[in-house]
Amino acid sequence: MADIEQLARDARADLEAATTVADLEAAKIKHLGKSGPLVLLLRNIKDLPPEQRGPVGKGGNIARKELEAFAADKGAQLADAELDVRLRREVVDVSLPPRAMPQGTLHVLTQTRRLLEDIFLGMGYQVIDAPEVESEWYGFTALNTPVGHPARNPSDTFYIEGRDQGAGANDDALILRTQTSTAQLRTMQKSTPPLYVVHPGRVYRRDDIDATHSDMFHQMEALAIHEGLTLADLKGTIEQFLATLFGGRLEVRLRTHFFPFTEPSVEADVQCFSCRGTGDPLPGDEDSERCRVCRGEGWIEIMGAGMVDPNVLGMVEGYDPDKVTGFAFGIGIDRVAMLRHDFPDLRLLFQNDLRFVRQFPGRP
Ligand code: PHE
């Protein structure tokens, strides 16, 4: 019996000494577990002299129950206390301002495209979309560039499918479009005049890549078709557009040029927005003898343009070349971005070097 009391006292002392749930668990296993002394004593009760078996069994069981009840109580208290500590430590302060999420910026090309779209929306134009992978028909034939025309030379674009090696022309072949003018016929087929649309997008050309050339770049096509449109309307529209873009009225000069799908065709130059046409360097720029933007020319070539060729109008039902006329022009979006932000190399636009991209913090 003394044995049981001693075992119970030892067990109780260890259980009481425990200050954590883990300590308590260890003490429980040591004293009350399957191979603990009390359990062993009870299990081996049959080896005791018969007269001791009753009292030891009874005393042992009482002691065991008491100790277990004590351990359970204490365990609950310790667990509560530990939970308290954890709740206090892991408290979430919802009143703290959130950590700032890194915010991206729009690419300078996207910003430029949207600016151009905005200007034309303000002039009553609609923004439309058209495929980049285009058939040779929309790419060439529909643009008054029939089979055998030098501009159809297969070497001047990328073929996706169906390149005709022999004749060098196949209306169903799929190409990467070389210009956004390929949207002209698609747009005309979808609606009748009056039509005022702009179409921004990527174009592809087999070209050497240098500071001002890339085999992929961006254009924005404008197409207007209405009764009575003349070259004067084309020039006025270009002037209005450029005045909004560069923030002030600038002279526009039209030079004759050739495009298969416009007649007459022109290239439009705008008076240099930096030197205002003088060709002189900016005041204080002693390192340069001429204007850096126009290289002393006084003019900047800005777009190809022209009056829509009657042959093109005649391709689509509902467009009577005797009734309606139209004009079209195509602007290089990349070039506008370079001019507006004054950076010297087109390739910067496509390298996604963050040191460059971050200089144009346009928000979505
Ligand atoms: N598509 C022509 C080019 O890429 C530009 C252009 C557009 C010319 C519309 C006339 C009319 O050079």
Give the mutation target among 181, 185, 258, 301 for probing the ligand 1 site: most ligand atoms within 8 A of CB: 181
pLDDT band, very low/low/confident/very high, at 75 (cuts 50, 70, 90) = very high
Cα 52 to averaged position of ligand 1 atoms, centre (Å): 114
Residue 318: predicted pLDDT: 93
Q: Give pLDDT tens digits for 177-218.
A: 999 999 999 999 999 999 999 999 999 998 888 888 899 999
Atom of ligand 1 nearest to the CA of 180: 1
Q: Identify the top-confidence range among 81-95, 109-123, 146-160, 289-303.
A: 109-123
* CATH architecture of the domain formed by 108-132+177-357: 2-Layer Sandwich (3.30)
Q: Which amino acid is at 197?
A: V
Q: What are the backbone angles phi and psi of residue 67, rounded to the nearest 5°?
A: -60, -40
Give the mutation target among 140, 179, 197 for probing the ligand 1 site: most ligand atoms within 8 A of CB: 179
pTM of the model: 0.73
Cα 330 to averaged position of ligand 1 atoms, centre (Å): 5
* Lookup: tokens for 154: 């297969």
pLDDT band, very low/low/confident/very high, at 261 (cuts 50, 70, 90) = very high
Cα 309 to averaged position of ligand 1 atoms, centre (Å): 12
Cα 220 to averaged position of ligand 1 atoms, centre (Å): 9
Does the CB atom of residue 330 touch ligand 1 within 6 A? yes
| In the chain, domain spans | 2-89, 108-132+177-357
Q: Give pLDDT tens digits for 97-116.
A: 888 888 888 999 999 999 99
What would the mean pLDDT of 128-142 be, rounded to a whole number? 93
Does the CB atom of residue 304 touch ligand 1 within 6 A? yes
What is the Cα 166 distance to its own chain's centre?
Answer: 42
* Lookup: tokens for 352: 């996604």
Cα 179 to averaged position of ligand 1 atoms, centre (Å): 7
Residue 169 has pLDDT above 80, yes or no: no
What would the mean pLDDT of 349-354 be, rounded to a whole number? 93
Residue 238 has pLDDT above 90, yes or no: yes
What is the Cα 229 distance to its own chain's centre?
Answer: 39
Atom of ligand 1 nearest to the CA of 308: 11
Residue 167: predicted pLDDT: 55
Give the mutation target among 259, 262, 329, 334 for probing the ligand 1 site: most ligand atoms within 8 A of CB: 259
pLDDT band, very low/low/confident/very high, at 164 (cuts 50, 70, 90) = low
Residue 165: predicted pLDDT: 59
Q: Which amino acid is at 225?
A: I
Atom of ligand 1 nearest to the CA of 184: 9
Does the CB atom of residue 305 touch ligand 1 within 6 A? yes
Residue 224 has pLDDT above 80, yes or no: yes
Does the CB atom of residue 157 touch ligand 1 within 6 A? no
Residue 211: predicted pLDDT: 85
